[in-house]
Structure 1
Amino acid sequence: MIVKTFGSAIQGVNAITITIEVNVSSKGNKLFIVGLPDNAVKESERRIESTIQCMGLRMPRTRTVVNMAPAAIRKAGAAYDLPIATGIMAASGQLSPLHLEHYLMMGELSLDGTIQPIKGALPIAMQAWQDGFKGFILPKQNALEAAMVSDLSIYGISHIAEAIQFFNDPGSLTPVTPATSECYTAIDHSGLDFSEVKGQQHIKRALEIAAAGGHNAILIGPPGAGKTMLAKRLPTILPPLTLQEALETTKIHSVAGKLPEHTSLILQRPFRSPHHTISDAALVGGGSIPQPGEISLAHHGVLFLDELPEFKRKVLEVMRQPIEERKVTISRTKNSVDFPASFVLLAAMNPCKCGFFNHPSRQCSCPPGQVQEYLNKVSGPLLDRIDLHVQVTPVEFADLSSTQAAEKSSCIRERVMAARAIQAERFAAYENIYCNAQMHSRLLTSVCVISDRCREQLGQAMQKLKLSARAYDRILKVSRTIADLEGSRSVEPAHMAEAIQYRSLDRENWGN
């Protein structure tokens, strides 16, 4: 007898429905699993056999063939245990097969039949709904996540016996109630606020511009000047995620297995801060079964690279293409997958090895040429892709000892949201463009129309700083964001001048 059950395979951040065909014949005595399964899928025979025996049922002792189609897609992981076990029991006459075609199942089995959680429940549920399934049976721990797909019945189970009872009596399980706002997860920023930062008004201004336009930024200054403290507070002034952005962010964290248990939706923008010992594969994604890296986990949020020159050169260089294209493509021999990677890159670094080059009161101890050697650890092409170069100076004593309350993050965020609203209206007709930093060159020409005076300013800066064409585009984008923060319909000379000053690392012989 041939029975079909349905599971799903994750490719990138999307799912593909897998048909699992089980044929129990009257001859032979071995279980064969075909259709490009990996070792974890092949090992399911032992888990399934133990589970069936624990429930007092019998494992077929005849020839059993399990085919997972389409065979060209590699099936990885133990989450296929549930549909395979269910198919074997139905094909051997121990379970009614009448309703199997209407439901998709995923879940890893323990030896006693307990269901373990899976990765990628949200994209699987979305694909199940698109493919017309009535419901999705999965581990109870992942049920709230899948329940974001409100038009699909979600059944969370903790033991395979519940699935068996359901297919014999479809009324035995109650669908999970769609998640409420209490089930949504806000990424904890530990109560950080810009009001806690003394002084540093020009740095706060630069970070406000970065948040308003989605621009990349680098903070360069001596140790103890507050670079890391300021960077960690950038997410507090970013606008809230839209529903579409929240779903995309949740899908990525779900596929990576980073979504907290019993969580439905991530509502706040991610802030990822990998250590400088990270590998290139961990940063951009990869592995034999491609998984999203830190730049994808930072999608719609912030990727903070502290002590930038301490990262391996190879690790930093692999970011150059994703920064431009806002996605990363992981290619393997038989397939390739795309992971979204639209993030704000925020970096911090000391100006030299000792950290006190250009310090107003301390002497730099680096020998001649070492300052430039230290800066050269970060390549010019990568710096070219960073919109704002911000020099951080030590906080004055008067600012440190001041009792005057600084501006709160909520006030800054209101201005950022007002600027983003202007951009949302501007780019309403364009797909996948939501802020100024995402503009392509053709759109930049029509959006950033500048006066003759601004053009003269920019021309002088290009000649004096020897800027590249990419830097030219980024200055225009930043000036447009500054104008949006001011509520100006056109880019004025003051906006252009402020944008130009944020290209400090482009100055010739900066480190000499």
Structure 2
Amino acid sequence: MDSALGTREQSMVARISTVAFEGAEARRVDVQVQVGTASRPHFAIVGLADKAVAESRERVVSAFASLGLSLHGKRVTVNLAPANLPKEGAHYDLPIALGLMGALGVVPVDEISDYAAIGELALDGTLAAVPGALPAAVMANSHGLGLICPEPNGAEAAWAGDLPLLAPQTLIGLINHFKGTQVLARPEAGQLLDSRDDIPNLRDVRGQESAKRALEVCAAGGHNLLMVGPPGSGKSMLAERLPGLLPPLDARELLDVSMVHSVAGLLERGQLTRARPFRAPHHSASMAALVGGGAKARPGEASLAHRGVLFLDELPEFAPQVLDSLRQPLETGKIAVARANAHITYPARFQLVAAMNPCRCGTAGADGIACRRGARCAADYQARVSGPFMDRIDIQIDVPAVTPADLALPPSAEGTELVAARVAKARAVQMDRNDGLTNTELPQAQLDQVAEPDAEGRRLLIQAAETLGLTARGYHRTLRVARTLADLAGSDRVHRLHIAEALSHRRDRRPTMPQSAPSHRGARNPLYR
């Protein structure tokens, strides 16, 4: 056959599977490799591959040269199917190399077709770790395939179940395994960490009894929390102790969290932990860093906090549009990142804990101290956080300054262990009643049934909603908190007492601007409730 490329011989197509990541999920990709002869060498990768995948050509050619395999005079075509699915990342190196070796007869084609493969190749044929080994193994297991991955990823992939698993250190070791001259043992699953010794203890917080109570309610019902108080009042200390009050991740939650962390490359040597995530991004974080996305979409802090705690310190210092980007995940528990060529969804069922000063100076509302800029300072500072965002926070409390008398008190008798036991008991009641959901995850129709207050409680709630100007969302979030308070008290019904305490955990944010702002020290800021 005449051609500008020369006469070609009969060629064959070798196939092996790999994955493309969509959020925390892995989709199967078919790697098809065809090798023929041509007067000039040619190596093409098609199938909507990005720059990192296109560069696989150079890494594969160099790795083959280190093994003594030459592609001189070969025409290589690699197709990644489906062709309309974007392919990103360096983990396509290994499946392309295996498919090429199968087409060249170096390894049996019928054996590699039973595997999916991920891995990055070094120029000397060494295999380097890649993110996403756990979801890749889950995908392979669901399709009845084995998985071939680099040795550092083996312990992570082993968590996916009893699937055939090969984790070589080098490409030559994999070739020897298929030739029968070397046997690669199946890697063991990584260590499951369940220690809570390094979690800060609630006993370390002096005073702030009302804030500790709010933290317990927050943990028991999965509610969002805002703490407003001057610098040094202990807001960050309280937030850091919330994960210790939450029950450990169950098996389903552990898999969900680990899949996200695997895609982000945060699992080291396959070590999983049942401790809930705690993420505390700096207030300079961009929208892509917080909710995910970017030129190459990656999970953000909100998704990395899935099933755990997202702590936003100095809340008004975050860009307003960045904060408002959290409004959807706070309601739905997931984040949809839309791009021109992809639509990716990440899980983001987290508890939001935020802390802020009452004003930029940090002194508004403190006893005996007045903000130098007056009431306008607090009004402008708090207005940086939008009303719709604040409306999604169930519990909003004031955290007063710690006095020397508080610091002189002995440590509290109640530490993290005792409070966590009460939280676990309340959560168990919720799970049994709500079909495995916390009060904050409960659908509206079901909430109306399980959180219906008694007559006195209903009257109080209606009166408070009118007086405080609660929105419909604020009304129902108050009910959710009241239901949690009833669970902590062991009550089957929501009573007036529970409604009253739930309302006390919700700050009145209505503006009450005075005619003239106080200018002398000792005046109390009327905005500080």
TM-score, normalisation: structure 2:
0.92
Query: Residue 422 of structure 2 aligns to which amino acid in structure 1?
Result: R
**Cα shift at 1:184:** 2.0
What CA deviation, in whole Å up to 9, does each residue of 1:238-262 have, x standing for no partner?
1111111011000001101122x21
Which digits, 9 at most, give the CA deviation of each residue in 1:423-456, with x for residues without a partner? 000112xxxx620011222111111111110011
Is residue 245 of structure 1 aligned with residue 253 of structure 2? Answer: yes
**Which of 100, 105, 110 in structure 2 is aligned with 1:98?**
110
CA distance in 1, matches of 2:106, 2:224: 60
Q: Residue 136 of structure 1 corresponds to which residue in structure 2? A: 147
Distance in 1 of aligned mates of 2:425 and 2:181 = 51
Other-structure match for 2:527: 511
Is the 1:5–1:100 contact (alpha carbons within 8 Å) kept by the matching residues of 2?
A: yes
C-alpha contact (below 8 Å) 2:15/2:30 kept by paired residues: yes
Task: Map Cα deviations across residues 227-247 of structure 1 (whole Å, 9 max, x no partner).
Answer: 111111111111111111011
Aligned to 2:396: 389
Q: Shift of the alpha carbon at 1:59?
A: 2.2
1:461: Cα distance to partner? Answer: 0.5
2:306 aligned partner: 299
Residue equivalent to 1:282: 289
1:373 to partner: Cα distance: 1.1
Deviation per CA, 1:307-348, whole angstroms, max 9, x where unpaired? 001111111011111101110100112321110110000000
Local SS of the residue matching 1:372: helix
Contact residue 30 and residue 80 of structure 2 kept, 8 A: yes
Q: Please state how far the C-alpha of 1:188 moved relative to its aligned partner.
A: 7.9
Find out whether 1:81 has 2:93 as its counterpart: yes
Structure 2 CA distance for aligned equivalents of residues 131 and 184 of structure 1: 26
Equivalence for 2:432: 425
**Structure-to-structure mapping, 1:196-345, within 5 angstroms:** 196-259=204-267, 261-345=268-352
Change (3 A) 1:170 1:499: farther
Contact 2:358–2:382 (CA<8 Å) still a contact in 1?
yes
Amino acid at match of 1:42: A
State whether residues 122 and 254 of structure 1, in contact with CA within 8 Å, keep that contact through their aligned partners in structure 2. yes
SS in 2 for 1:85: helix
Structure 1 portions without partners, runs of 5+: none
Equivalent position amino acid for 1:468 in 2: T
CA distance, structure 1, for counterparts of residue 131 and residue 103 of structure 2 = 28
Where do 1:426-445 residues align within 5 Å?
426-428=433-435, 434-445=437-448
Q: Secondary structure at the match of 1:141?
A: helix
Is 1:153 matched up with 2:164?
yes
Using the TM superposition, give the Cα deviation of residue 191 of structure 1 relative to its aligned residue in structure 2, in angstroms.
4.0
For the residue of structure 2 that corresponds to 1:63, the secondary structure is: strand
Query: What's the offset of the Cα at 1:128?
Result: 0.2
* 2:466 is the counterpart of 1:455: no
Say whether residues 1:14 and 2:21 are aligned partners.
no
1:61-76 mapped onto 2 (5 Å cutoff): 61-76=73-88
Deviation at 1:171, TM superposition (A): 6.7
SS of residue paired to 1:286 = coil
State the match for 2:449 in structure 1. Answer: 446
Query: Which residue pairs with 1:38 in the alignment?
Result: 50
Root mean square deviation, CA, Å: 1.6
> 1:24-47 CA deviation, whole Å, 9 max, x = no partner?
113342111111111111111111
Q: CA deviation at 1:153?
A: 2.1
SS at match of 2:29: strand
What's the offset of the Cα at 1:118? 0.7
SS in 2 for 1:240: coil
What's the CA shift for 1:189?
Answer: 7.9
Q: Residue 404 of structure 1: CA displacement?
A: 4.7
Moved more, 497-506 or 397-406: 397-406
> 1:185·1:263 contact (CA, 8 Å) conserved in 2?
no
Q: What is the letter of the counterpart of residue 237 of structure 1? A: L
The 8 Å contact of residues 363 and 370 in structure 2, kept in 1 or not, is answered as yes
Q: Deviations over 1:177-226 (max 9, x none)?
A: 344xxx12459884410011111110000000000000001000111111
Superposition deviation, residue 364 in structure 1? 2.1
The answer to whether the 8 A contact 2:223-2:481 is kept is yes
**Amino acid aligned to 1:274:** P
Q: How has the CA–CA distance of structure 1 residues 61 and 168 changed in structure 2, closer, same or farther, with 3 Å as cutoff?
A: same
- 2: CA distance between counterparts of 1:165 and 1:171? 5
SS in 2 for 1:175: coil
User: Using the alignment, how far apart are the partners of 1:247 and 1:94 within structure 2?
Assistant: 37
In structure 2, runs of 5+ residues without a counterpart are: 1-11, 513-525
Q: Distance in 2 between matches of 1:154 and 1:394?
A: 57
Residues 352 and 375 of structure 1 are in contact (CA less than 8 Å); yes or no, is this contact kept in structure 2?
Answer: yes
Q: Which amino acid aligns with 1:111?
A: L
In the alignment, which of 166, 180, 194 is matched to residue 169 of structure 1?
Answer: 180
Which of these residues, 366, 370, 387, is aligned with residue 359 of structure 1?
Answer: 366
Which shows bigger deviation, 94-103 or 406-415?
A: 94-103
> Is 1:54–2:54 an aligned residue pair?
no
Amino acid at match of 2:429: I
**Larger deviation: 169-178 or 32-41?**
169-178
Q: Could you say what secondary structure the match of 1:72 adopts? A: coil
Alpha-carbon deviation of 1:476?
0.3
Letter in 2 for 1:168: K
Contact 2:479 2:499 in 1 (8 A): yes
In structure 2, C-alpha distance between the alignment counterparts of 1:226 and 1:120, rounded to whole Å: 38
Distance 1:273 1:186 in 2: 21
Aligned length, in residue pairs: 503
8 A Cα contact 1:153 1:176, kept in partner = no
Cα deviation code 1:105-157 (max 9, x no counterpart) = 11100000010101111111001011111x21101111111101222122211
The 8 Å contact of residues 467 and 506 in structure 1, kept in 2 or not, is answered as no
CA contact (8 A) 1:249 1:266 kept: no
Q: Which entry has the higher C-alpha Rg, 1 or 2?
A: 2
Seen in structure 2, the aligned counterparts of structure 1 residues 381 and 63 have a Cα distance that, compared at 3 Å, is same
* Structure 2 residue identity aligned to 1:257: G
Query: Offset at 1:263?
Result: 2.4
Are 1:145 and 1:264, in contact at CA under 8 Å, matched by a contact in 2?
yes
- Which letter maps to 1:415? R
SS of 2:273's equivalent in the other structure is coil
Distance 2:197 2:234 in 1: 17
When residues 331 and 412 of structure 1 are mapped into structure 2, their CA distance, relative to the original with a 3 A threshold, is: same
Kept in 1, the 8 Å contact 2:59–2:123? The answer is yes
Alpha-carbon spacing, 1:397–1:15, altered in 2? closer, same or farther (3 Å): same
Any idea what the Cα deviations from partners look like across 1:384-441, whole Å, max 9, x if unmatched?
000001100122322211225431101100000000000000112xxxx620011222
Q: Give the share of equivalent positions with the same residue, in percent.
A: 42
Shift of 1:502: 1.2
- Asked if residue 403 in structure 1 is aligned to residue 410 in structure 2, the reply is yes
